[in-house]
Amino acid sequence: MNRRLFLCGMGMAAAGAALSGRAAEGGATARPKNIVLILADDLGWGDVACYGAQGVATPNVDRLAREGMRFTDAHASAATCTPTRYSLLTGEYAWRKKGTGIAPGDAALLIEPGRATLPSVLKKAGYTTGVVGKWHLGLGLGGDRIDWNHEIAPGPREIGFDYSFLLPATGDRAPCVYVENQRVVGLDPADPIKVSYDLQGENFPGELDGRRDRAGLKLDWSHGHHYTVVNGIGRIGYMTGGKKARWVDEDMADTLAAKGSAFIERNKDKPFFLYFATHDIHVPRVPNPRFVGKTSMGARGDAIVQFDFQVGAILDALDRCGLKDDTLVILSSDNGPVLDDGYKDQAVERLGAHRPAGLFRGHKYSAYEGGTRVPFIARWPKQIKAGTESSALVSLVDWVATAAALTGQALSPADAPDSFSFAAALRDAKAPARASLISQDPVLSVRAGVWKFIPENNKRNGPQRPDTGLLGDPDAFVKGGSDNGSWNVAQLYDTAADPREANNLAGQQPERVAALRALLEKAKADGRTRP
Ligand code: NG6
Ligand code: CA
């Protein structure tokens, strides 16, 4: 066919896409029937076999990679949970909004109802939306203004989720109950729940206390986690009541897998979006007995196997419903790995040769790559070529723009101010995504291409090496220590040539440092980075 004639028969956008060799962004053919986001908690870049894990088998995660595309330079928005999840759902860098640091279990809902969110964008496009698992974004009005014994609002419903089944905060924070469609599951009205985060105070009368009753704990704490005791495990925060409603940690993975699978089954005949946020592999790591001893790494390794089981359950549900080919599944993690995160679960002692952050330096809470560079696997058999790999720079803050692009919607200027679509990168392993990225915790750091800039941080003199230019030990983490990068010198690394960020080039390249610093300052001043 004559090329000109061929192009004339197509819409402009489609013609442009044909010329560039890609499917039209947002065009009808590009929309996945369903979207499933599987978000692990604290799973590091190197914690799954398809990213090089040692000593733990992850057949279901590996299956996703084999059938889809494995990203090697994808990032959580922050090196801790709440800011990453805030950015994921809003498309806004969390550091723009006060109060989005690690949230207590009685925080108020952090996302304003009415703003564009990942679920609201997809709901507008006709998807039924659901969230199952860890929330950690606050609920209701916060503090004493949350009544855990009635409907709790605002919550997931008010920001776009049709269905929710939640751990309100984290596995290690009170209240230790599930909340389904904004009501505590299995609550006996005769045993009402009260929660307190006055951590200088005491637990409610008659409740166990992790310090006073330490000898009876089934899992001892190493730091924090000495407040209320639920299921023999000390937690952060106090609670009383709701005895019958309290979760059993050992059953949590099965409960979440069942709720996630049931959502898929219920909605199999219409488009749906499922945000499946596991508790694994966060602390407390108390896997079901059938996973105990499956690795030589103790509870942390066994929790990875349990995470993989949940991935398998979701993939099986998609297979059973015949939805595999036209469902976009993306698996990632909310921040990098951590070993001792407050419980004596042998994560350090039994690590062996396993490297949770792979070849990268840093960990959860750290500004080095290991803090945010996470596994990111996308499978969509209809559109993504199996067994491919992409080195595009992407971030979880990019989900909102990606969802809009995939469903052919334009975002208004105020929406998702820091979100860039990675839809093109899904279809073309060679396509670039964003050019630069700002990551959070404990300072704001910048990536532009392969370059990484960590500004000097005068407020936090973490490991006490002020002004000496000594930048600690890149292996501190795997030896059980922490390596937060909170020194008083600016740091510049070539993350391609030096993934361990051991060779600080800031002194040698002042111009590059100045350019990256300017990029960061502009992003702050402009209030947005999306053009
Ligand atoms: C810290 C907790 C840690 C973990 C983290 C949040 C202590 C000593 N440490 O304050 O155990 O809960 O908060 O993790 O209590 S996150 O993945 O949800 O960000
Ligand atoms: Ca986390």
User: What domains appear along the chain, each with residue ranges and CATH number?
Assistant: 24-188+248-434 (3.40.720.10)
Using CA atoms, how far apart are residues 450 and 452, in angstroms rounded to an integer?
A: 7
Binning pLDDT at 50, 70 and 90, where does residue 441 land?
confident
* Ligand 1: residue whose CA is nearest its atom 16: 81
Count of other CB atoms within 10 angstroms of residue 355: 21
Phi, psi of 35 (to 5 degrees): -135, 130
Q: For residue 46, give both structure tokens.
A: 């190197």
Using CA atoms, how far apart are residues 423 and 69, in angstroms rounded to an integer?
A: 12
* Ligand 1: residue whose CA is nearest its atom 18: 81
Alpha helices in 275-376 (DSSP H): 299-320, 369-372
Binning pLDDT at 50, 70 and 90, where does residue 30 land?
confident
User: What distance in angstroms lies between residue 148's CA and the mean position of ligand 2's atoms?
Assistant: 24
Q: What pLDDT sits at residue 370?
A: 96
| Residues 87-121 pLDDT 10s | 999 999 999 999 999 999 999 999 999 999 999 99
Q: What residues are in contact with ligand 1 under a 6 Å CB criterion?
A: 41-42, 80-81, 102, 136, 170, 172, 223-225, 236, 282-283, 335, 341-342
Nearest to 71 by CA among 87, 55, 50: 50
Chain-wide mean pLDDT for the chain? Answer: 92
| Residues 138-171 pLDDT 10s | 999 999 999 999 999 999 999 999 999 999 999 9
pTM (2 d.p.): 0.93
Binning pLDDT at 50, 70 and 90, where does residue 459 land?
low
* Ligand 1: residue whose CA is nearest its atom 8: 224
User: What distance in angstroms lies between residue 531's CA and the mean position of ligand 1's atoms?
Assistant: 34
Using CA atoms, how far apart are residues 328 and 232, in angstroms rounded to an integer?
A: 39
Q: What pLDDT sits at residue 486?
A: 57
Q: Is the pLDDT of residue 470 over 60?
A: no
Distances (CA, A) of 50 to 45, 59, 60, 102, 294: 10, 9, 10, 30, 18
**Closest atom of ligand 1 relative to the 102 alpha carbon:** 19
| Residues 275-316 pLDDT 10s | 999 999 999 999 999 999 999 999 999 999 999 999 999 999
Binning pLDDT at 50, 70 and 90, where does residue 373 land?
very high
State the average pLDDT over residues 478-504.
Answer: 86
User: What distance in angstroms lies between residue 323's CA and the mean position of ligand 1's atoms?
Assistant: 36
Q: What pLDDT sits at residue 485?
A: 59
Q: Is the pLDDT of residue 16 over 90?
A: no
Binning pLDDT at 50, 70 and 90, where does residue 19 land?
very low
Q: What is the dihedral of CA 43, 491, 463, 52, to 10 degrees?
A: 30
Alpha helices in 9-163 (DSSP H): 12-20, 59-67, 81-90, 118-124
Binning pLDDT at 50, 70 and 90, where does residue 29 land?
low
CB 265 within 8 A of CB 256: no
Q: What pLDDT sits at residue 26?
A: 38
Give the length of the chain: 531
Using CA atoms, how far apart are residues 283 and 306, in angstroms rounded to an integer?
A: 13
Q: For residue 73, give both structure tokens.
A: 């330079």
* Ligand 1: residue whose CA is nearest its atom 10: 102
Of 39, 41, 80, 441, the residue with max ligand 1 atoms within 8 A of its CB, to mutate for a pocket test, comes to 80
Of 39, 102, 372, the residue with max ligand 1 atoms within 8 A of its CB, to mutate for a pocket test, comes to 102
- For tokens 């979440």, name the residue: 256
Of 166, 170, 339, the residue with max ligand 1 atoms within 8 A of its CB, to mutate for a pocket test, comes to 170
- For tokens 């596994």, name the residue: 375
Using CA atoms, how far apart are residues 289 and 255, in angstroms rounded to an integer?
A: 15
Q: Is the pLDDT of residue 205 over 70?
A: yes
Q: What pLDDT sits at residue 481?
A: 82
* Ligand 1: residue whose CA is nearest its atom 11: 341
User: Which residues sit opposite 446 in a β-bridge?
Assistant: 438, 453
**Closest atom of ligand 1 relative to the 335 alpha carbon:** 17
Binning pLDDT at 50, 70 and 90, where does residue 520 land?
very high
User: What distance in angstroms lies between residue 366's CA and the mean position of ligand 2's atoms?
Assistant: 12
Longest dimension (CA), the chain: 83
Q: What percent of the chain is predicted at pLDDT more than 70?
A: 91
Using DSSP's 3-state secondary structure scheme, residue 375 falls into: coil
Q: State how far Cα 451 lies from the chain centre.
A: 23
Q: What is the CA radius of gyration of the chain?
A: 23
* Ligand 1: residue whose CA is nearest its atom 7: 224
User: What distance in angstroms lies between residue 493's CA and the mean position of ligand 1's atoms?
Assistant: 28
| Residues 228-238 pLDDT 10s | 999 999 999 99
User: Which residues sit opposite 330 in a β-bridge?
Assistant: 37, 378
For the CA of 136, the nearest ligand: 1
Using DSSP's 3-state secondary structure scheme, residue 137 falls into: coil
Q: What pLDDT sits at residue 473?
A: 80
User: What distance in angstroms lies between residue 80's CA and the mean position of ligand 2's atoms?
Assistant: 5
* Ligand 1: residue whose CA is nearest its atom 17: 81
Distances (CA, A) of 517 to 96, 438, 452: 17, 11, 11
Q: Is the pLDDT of residue 399 over 50?
A: yes
Give me the amino acid identity at 266: R
Phi, psi of 277 (to 5 degrees): -110, 100
**Closest atom of ligand 1 relative to the 341 alpha carbon:** 11
CB 429 within 8 A of CB 388: yes
Count of other CB atoms within 10 angstroms of residue 479: 11
User: What distance in angstroms lies between residue 299's CA and the mean position of ligand 1's atoms?
Assistant: 17
User: What distance in angstroms lies between residue 140's CA and the mean position of ligand 2's atoms?
Assistant: 22
Within 8 A by CB and 6+ apart from 92, the residues are 86, 397, 416, 417, 418, 419
